[in-house]
Amino acid sequence: MVYFKKMAVIGVGLIGGSLARVLREKKAVGEVVGIGRGEANLKRGVELGVLDSYTTDAKKGVEGADLVFIATPVCSIPQVVAEIAPHLSKGCIVTDGGSVKEYVVAACEPLMPEGTWFVGGHPIAGTEHSGVEASFSTLYQGRRCIVTPTGNTDPAALEKVVELWKVAGSNVPLMDPVQHDLVVAAISHLPHMVAYSLVNAVDGYDRFGGDLLSFSAGGFRDFTRIASSDPVMWRDIALTNKEAILEMMDFFSGYLEKLRGLVAAEDAEGLRTFFLNSKQKRDAIL
C-alpha cells in the first residue's frame, strides 16, 4: 500500500479534510499538516483529529512533505503551486481536487521544480456543506476520482496518486484533462448552471408580487439543492472551463427548444416520448 511520510493539505475543508481523515484512518500517512488562511478552521481540524498541526504559511507547511494535496477553488491552485514550488522537497508529489483540469494541469506542470511532480485529480464527491466540520472519512467510498495524467506525467508519481485514491475507497479512471473537462461540463457544470438559472428565474418571476418560492415543494427543493453551492467555487469553474460549459449550455438549450416546440404544437405523442426517454435514462442510473 502507498505510504506518505508527511502530507500537507492546502485548503482544509470538506474535500481536503475528508482525504486527510481517510488516509490517517488507513495509516497511509505518517503526519498531516494543514495549511490555510482561516486559523479557527485549522485549529478545529487539529481538535477533530484531522490534522496533526497547522500553519498559515504555505512555504513552511510544505517543507519536508512528500505529498501536497491542494483543495482550494480552481483559480487559486496555480497561485498556490507558484508559491510553494521553491520550497518543495525532492520527490514530492503535488496533486489537487479541482473540478476543472486542463486549466489547472497546464498552469501547474511548468511550475514544478526538477524532481517534483504535479498530477491532476478530481474526486467526484461532495455534499452541499463545507468546512472541516463537514468532512468525514467515507466521503470518497465507492465514488469516482478522475485522475488526469498528461504526456509529462511521471509514471511512478501517477501510480502513487491512483493508489492514494484507491485507499480512500474510490474508483480511479484515468482521463485526458480536456476530455475530463467536457465530461464534467455535461454531468456537473451544466446542471449547476441550469439550477442557478432556475432559482433566479423563479425568484425573478414576480407577476403576482407574491413570494413564489414559498410555494415550492419537495421536488423543487431537491432539484435546486445544487444551487446552494459555493458561489466562489462555481465562479472559478465557470471562468476556467468556459468553452466546454458554453458548448453544453448551447447543447442543452437545443433540447429545451425542442421541448418548447412540442409543447407549443400540443404534440401529445412527441411529449410522451420525450418524457419517457428521459425517465428511462434516468431510471437506468438510479
The answer to whether 49 and 20 have CB atoms below 8 angstroms apart is no
Output b/e per residue, 159-186; b: 16+ Cβ within 10 A.
ebbbebbebbbbebeebebbebbbbbbb
Which range touches its own copies (CB under 8 A), out of 11-19, 82-90, 119-127, 162-170?
119-127
Under DSSP, is residue 163 helix (H, G, I), strand (E, B) or coil? Answer: helix
Output b/e per residue, 41-76; b: 16+ Cβ within 10 A.
bbebbbeeebbbebbeebeebbbebbbbbbbbbbbb
For residue 111, the 8-state DSSP code is G
Residue of the chain from 130, 138, 150, 216 that contacts its own copies (CB under 8 A):
216
Distance between start and end Cα atoms, the chain: 33
Residue 27 within binding range of its own copies, rule CB under 8 A: no
The smaller minimum CB distance to its own copies, of residues 53 and 79, is found at 79
Residue 145 to residue 168: CA distance in whole angstroms: 10
Residue 163 to residue 125: CA distance in whole angstroms: 17
Residue 252 within binding range of its own copies, rule CB under 8 A: yes
Residue 283 within binding range of its own copies, rule CB under 8 A: yes
Give me the least distance between CB of 16 and its own copies, in Å please.
Answer: 18
The smaller minimum CB distance to its own copies, of residues 115 and 254, is found at 254
Residue 5 within binding range of its own copies, rule CB under 8 A: no
**120: enclosing H helix or E strand:** strand 117-124
Residue 228 within binding range of its own copies, rule CB under 8 A: yes
Residue 90 within binding range of its own copies, rule CB under 8 A: no
Residue of the chain from 26, 43, 143, 166 that contacts its own copies (CB under 8 A):
143
For residue 171, the 8-state DSSP code is B
Give me the least distance between CB of 101 and its own copies, in Å please.
Answer: 14
151-180 positions binding its own copies, by CB under 8 A = 179
Give me the least distance between CB of 110 and its own copies, in Å please.
Answer: 22
Residue 209 within binding range of its own copies, rule CB under 8 A: no
Residue 79 within binding range of its own copies, rule CB under 8 A: no
Residue 188 within binding range of its own copies, rule CB under 8 A: yes
Which range touches its own copies (CB under 8 A), out of 45-53, 98-106, 130-138, 262-270?
262-270
Give me the least distance between CB of 190 and its own copies, in Å please.
Answer: 7
**233: enclosing H helix or E strand:** helix 231-240
